[in-house]
């Protein structure tokens, strides 16, 4: 059940959008500064839901419609996401106030996620925000209902900056960048956040390894491949970083304070 205070907060912001749309849209960065990125998406959803309710009322829906609703549920269920996506598209195309709010929110997410990727590549994992956590997963109900992932993906991977999309037809371009957002942005950033949440020994070892190998990979890796290399490093660390593995298995082979060992140091010590 939603917190009553939170519900009142959303209703107030819905009122602001109706009466002062630019005031809300131009202040989305305040939400990011306050750690309320998730709330921005909920507000966007509220704005869409309000348009659906208003449309139902204008069409005079009433008791007769409600009596038929139960019988139609099974038939409508498979297409419910498509219908919501259609509503989102129509609202984006025909309502400039909603479009402006949607664009401001997707701009913010694209900017923060781009910054987070730089933190990830540099090893500054603790500086990564929770934008990837709050951004809807590709093909999730929230993604279908707002189409926010498509907007974010196109802003992170615009045609003009990526020659591989130059001559691709729009539907295929949209499909490719959406899944690129999921596979190459949201998933690795979410995994990095989970690493930071783990016990300190895991976190410290991961940071040490990333910093040690970052310089090696940076000069040799092609653009975009550093994230893949990062994952390989993390997989190695998952195997070797626990204290019991290093001490019990390798005995006196520990490096430094006895609790941290880099993968190449473990391998070298076996010869």
105-138, pLDDT tens digit by residue?
A: 999 999 999 999 999 999 898 899 999 999 999 9
Is residue 169 in some structural domain?
yes
Q: Taking Cα atoms as reference points, which of 110, 113, 178, 190 lies closest to residue 139?
A: 178
- Whether 155 and 166 share a structural domain: yes
pLDDT band at 166 (very low <50, low <70, confident <90, very high): confident
Query: In this structure, are 174 and 255 located in the same domain?
Result: no
Q: What is the pLDDT of residues 6-38, one digit of tens each?
A: 788 888 889 999 999 999 999 999 988 888 888
Question: Are residues 88 and 109 located together in one domain of the fold?
Answer: yes
Same-domain pairing of 209 and 263 = yes
Mind giving me the DSSP string for 39-75?
A: HHHHHHHHHHHHHHHHHHHHTT--HHHHHHHHHHHHH
Question: Are residues 124 and 237 both part of a single domain?
Answer: no
Examine the domain organization and report whether 170 and 237 are in the same domain: no
Give percent above pLDDT 90 in the chain. Answer: 38
In 3-state terms the chain splits into helix, strand, coil percentages (rounded to 5) of 80, 0, 20
Assess whether 168 and 224 both reside in one domain: no
pLDDT of 184 above 70: yes
- The pTM (predicted TM-score) of the whole model is 0.64
Domain, as residue range, for 149: 1-53+78-197
Q: Which of 266, 208, 211 is nearest to 239 (CA)?
A: 266
Give a yes or no: residue 65 inside a domain: no
**100 pLDDT more than 80:** yes
The verdict on 152 and 33 lying in the same domain is yes
Whether the predicted pLDDT of 80 surpasses 50 = no
Instruction: Say what the pLDDT of residue 50 is.
Output: 80
**Is the CB of residue 39 less than 8 Å from the CB of residue 30?**
no
Q: Are 41 and 148 in contact (CB under 8 A)?
A: yes
Measured CA distances, 251 to 30, 209, 238, 243, 256 (Å): 52, 21, 19, 11, 13
User: Residue 68 falls within a domain, yes or no?
Assistant: no
Considering 167, 197, 227, which residue would you say is the last residue of a domain?
197
Domain match, 30 and 157 both: yes
Count of domains for the chain: 2
Reference 120, options 196, 43, 32, 171; nearest CA is: 196
Contact 195, 230 (CB under 8 A): no
In a domain? residue 216: yes
What average pLDDT does this structure show over 160-178? Answer: 90
Domain stop point among 179, 197, 215:
197
pLDDT at site 71: 36
Q: Which of 177, 197, 217 is the last residue of a domain?
A: 197
Q: Would residue 62 count as lying in a domain?
A: no
- The most confident of the ranges 156-165, 191-200, 244-253 is 156-165
- pLDDT of residue 174 exceeding 70, the answer is yes
């Amino acid at each position: 059940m939603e917190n009553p205070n939170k519900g009142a907060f959303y209703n107030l912001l819905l009122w602001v959008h109706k009466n002062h749309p630019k005031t809300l849209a131009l202040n989305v960065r305040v939400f990011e500064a306050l750690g309320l990125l998730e709330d921005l998406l909920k507000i966007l959803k509220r704005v869409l839901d309000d348009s659906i309710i208003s449309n139902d009322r204008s069409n005079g829906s009433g008791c007769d419609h409600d009596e038929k609703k139960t019988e139609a549920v099974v038939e409508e269920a498979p297409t419910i996401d498509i219908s919501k996506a259609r509503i989102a598209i129509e609202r984006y195309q025909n309502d400039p106030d909603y479009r402006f709010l949607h664009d401001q929110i997707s701009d913010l997410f694209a900017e923060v996620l781009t910054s987070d990727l730089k933190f990830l590549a540099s090893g500054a994992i603790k500086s990564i925000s929770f934008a990837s956590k709050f951004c809807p997963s590709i093909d999730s109900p929230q993604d279908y209902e707002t189409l926010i992932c498509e907007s974010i993906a196109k802003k992170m991977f615009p045609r003009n900056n990526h020659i591989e999309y130059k001559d691709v037809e729009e539907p295929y371009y949209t499909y490719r960048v959406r899944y690129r957002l999921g596979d190459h942005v949201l998933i690795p950033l979410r995994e990095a956040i989970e690493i930071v949440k783990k016990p300190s020994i895991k976190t410290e070892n991961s940071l040490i390894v990333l910093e040690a190998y970052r310089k090696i990979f940076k000069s040799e890796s092609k653009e975009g491949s550093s994230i893949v290399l990062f994952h390989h490093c993390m997989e190695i660390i998952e195997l070797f970083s626990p204290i019991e593995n290093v001490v019990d298995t390798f005995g006196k082979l520990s490096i430094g304070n006895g609790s941290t060992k880099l993968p190449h140091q473990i391998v070298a010590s076996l010869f």
